[in-house]
Amino acid sequence: MELRANLGKLAPQLYKSMEQMEAQSAQFAQEAGLDKGFCHLLKLRASQINGCAFCLRMHARDALAAGESPDRLAVLPAWRESRYFSDAEGAALALMEAVTAIADGQVPDTVYAQAKAVLSDAQIAAVEWIGVVINGWNRIAISSRYPVAP
């Protein structure tokens, strides 16, 4: 595999800004009442859509360490077909998917209305901020081709 410019090493201040956004979005999510393990599942779902192996491995491990079950992790790509997620979690996952695939119809009104019905404004904002940050991280890791090996 061809070596790529490592964005973190070549622009450490920008990378540090991303780390700060990550910490701030995690704090905001906690204050909004979102479970830490579920936040990792949100990040994992975005990373699945984006195909970011580096973030997939990291957030799968982080979700398990935060108490998420292996079953919820396993069914995440097909969450709509399972009964593992509450209505609020399903709305958050749908919102995360829409934020991640924003070029495909933006964030549809139906997705936002579903979220608004079961999540507080702070929780909606927290999910969207998590989406902004993880999609940024995915682009950093993918474009730099961060290595993922056993």
Contact, 140 vs 7, CB < 8 A?
yes
Q: For 20-31, what is each residue's pLDDT tens digit?
A: 999 999 999 999
How far apart (Å, rounded) are the C-alpha atoms in residues 3 and 55? 19
* Whether pLDDT at 45 is above 60: yes
Residue among 96, 70, 98, 94 nearest 84 (CA): 70
Cα-to-chain-centroid distance, residue 59: 9
* Whether pLDDT at 116 is above 90: yes
Burial-class residue 104 by CB neighbours within 10 Å (0-12, 13-18, 19+): exposed
In the predicted model, what is the mean pLDDT of residues 53-73?
Answer: 96
Domains and CATH numbers, the chain: 13-143 (1.20.1290.10)
* Whether pLDDT at 66 is above 90: yes
pLDDT at 1: 56
Least confident of 69-78, 125-134, 139-148: 139-148
Apex 41 CA angle, 134 and 87, nearest 5 = 115
